[in-house]
Structure 1
Amino acid sequence: MALRLAEIALDPPVLLAPLAGITDLPFRRLVASFGAGLVVSEMVASQEVVQARPLARARAELGFEEAATSVQLAGRDPYWMAEAAKYVAGQGARVIDINMGCPAKKVTNGYSGSALMKDLDHALTLIEAVVGAVEVPVTLKTRLGWDDALMNAPELARRAEGAGVRMVTIHGRTRCQFYKGQADWGAIASVRQAITVPLIANGDITGPDSAAEALRLSGADGVMIGRGAQGRPWLLAQVAAALFGRPAPVVPQGDALADMIVGHHQAMLSFYGLDLGIRIARKHLGWYLEMAGLEAARAELMATNSPDRVAALVRAAFRHQERAAA
């Protein structure tokens, strides 16, 4: 099963969610190497990406040359949203996603992200501005509503489709839930009834079983996975294999997994530079160790600033694990 956004096939319909500080270009490339229908950039503030000097850094962060990449824009002003859309489309973005789901206070206090669900008329001015500015497909990511008293995702989705949005992703929580409790996949079904464009279910999808249940309850056409992929960049491919008949990924083990982790670490250092890269990479290293059951190696690994030492410690931890299991 493949979804289509104009001439773009989302095959399989298993997508990587935008995660601030996580889904940077090195991580998106790694996830895509296992198999994903689409990977979405970290949220980009519309005015900042237009005004940034030099623009080369923004281009590197967004990865315009990546075929299955969507660039997510956030903002509150139609002019800057349109200008940002034109810029990223001009640089080669294949899909533009509009963020109306971020719950962070620094975003919602600026009347962006999920705060836009409190004013659908204004939200539609942003959607119309972006759709009118570009030829590439425009998608929307949002939540069930602002809070339990304002569950207006179906109305927003319906109006967004009328304005030209080609796909809608719903995180199964309200803004006021942030990431607490359990995502309500069944509540997403009300959006399915309101629109005809592809619908993607998001929230708490951590493997094939939860993905299948999210699809069953929501009636969605595909799933978007975020935090579940931390430390498991192959997870999207596993879900695609289980649900959509795609080839099962070869999940690296032992030395192969250590090599993948070291390669990801080196890619982050190259991308960010040594000092910043070391700091940003630590959270990924921690997730890898947690998923592999190697938390005992965490303290020493997090304390070193030497890339060579990181590589040696990672490889030693996996060799020790293999010997202990033999």
Structure 2
Amino acid sequence: MPDHDDVDYAKRLGAAIRNHRMSQGMSLRALAKELHLSGHGSLVDYELGRRIPPQNLVEGCERVFRISDGALRNLREKALTERADLSTERLLRPPEPETTTAPAVTAGPAVTAGPVRRWTPRRRLVVVAAAVVVLAGLAAGVWRWSSPGTATPSLAASPPVRFGFEDGIERWSPLWGGPRIRYDVSATTAYEGKQSLQITTTGFSNMTDKSLGTTHGLETLRPGMKVTCYLRVPLPERASVRFFAYDSKSHRFWALETPEGGEAQLPSDTAWKRYDWTVPNIDLVHAIGIEIYQFTDDPVILWLDAVGW
């Protein structure tokens, strides 16, 4: 294994990107714009060696800096190998023995017996009166709860399903990031019925965003109404989602529950999870959709079902 005290290829890669950028007189914002990034915050982490940039970002840097020998890609491969070696080393490292010490026993203060309280007639009367008051309150509460015409708490019912994907994809399609999205109906799992819509996205979202939605079947959907859908993942994914609607001019508006920078996390297990979001205050609901924001280059898989309002 390499000597990790002397070699840090992630920092070397970051320094190389920074040196090339500065030699061309580019700011972080300018480089982010050339790489089609939404912001330059991730570039700071890459240049400082805190994170290893994805393959497509490194290739983009080589294109911008006109590097033809693959030097940045070679550094990235070495950084990934070094990180894998470090992970293996930690796994093979024997656990440190646990040391336990017996708690010290300290002598507490001496307990002295106090005066013995006797049950006088007056004290008995006070205790009985208090018990009667408590029992009367409990009886009144039970009577009120069980009386007819009184509302009792209940779980929120699911609204009527508008898109169950039993007849196909039901005119759902990518709204942006199309080349990075694959979608089709699946009989593998379903929240309701026999089918759901399986969505697979690829590519770190710093490079491209992805969304899926529909412009059909929305005649009864109005601003301020609640939309419900169910999502499931085959395993915990490094991704999150945001919900949105288009107005009559195809301008995008994020749901109140998932504003700009406020994504909702995908389920942490493999069970179906319900998501409720509010249609923004727009003149007309021309489209609704879901954006998938992923923090990995690996494919992200999720199922969508039972969309309703």
TM range (shorter): under 0.3
What TM-score does the superposition give when structure 1 sets the normalisation length? 0.22
Relative to the length of structure 2, the TM-score reads: 0.23
Q: Which has the larger radius of gyration?
A: 2
Q: Which has the higher contact order (CA 8 A, sep 6+)?
A: 2
By percentage of residues, which structure has more helix? 1
